[in-house]
């Protein structure tokens, strides 16, 4: 049975606040103003970048052979 996932999730790890969501286009806050240092989001294409001191990280598809990983 599949369980539904929250639209967004907040994770604290090692004193770092992480905001997690699927669709970056639905980001409804300014991460730096809200105290987040990392935003993790998901689509099939892996990427990472920094913007206003925040790391935006997309690990890529979980169902691929790893070819989208850098």
**What is the per-residue pLDDT for 17?**
97
What is the chain's pLDDT, residue by residue, as a tens digit (70 residues)? 456 778 899 999 999 999 999 899 999 999 999 999 999 998 778 899 999 999 999 988 766 555 555 5
pTM of the model: 0.80
**What is the per-residue pLDDT for 65?**
58
Scanning the chain, the segments in alpha helix (DSSP H) are: 31-34
**What is the per-residue pLDDT for 7?**
87
**What is the per-residue pLDDT for 64?**
58
Euclidean distance between CA atoms 70 and 49, whole angstroms:
13
Half-sphere exposure of 34 (CA within 13 A, CB side): 13
């Amino acid at each position: 049975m599949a369980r539904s996932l929250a639209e967004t999730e907040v994770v604290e790890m090692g004193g770092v606040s992480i905001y997690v969501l699927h669709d970056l286009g639905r980001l409804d806050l300014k991460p730096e103003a809200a105290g987040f240092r990392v935003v993790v989001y998901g689509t099939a294409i892996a990427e990472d970048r920094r913007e206003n001191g925040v790391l935006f990280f997309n690990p890529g598809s979980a169902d691929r052979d790893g070819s989208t990983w850098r």
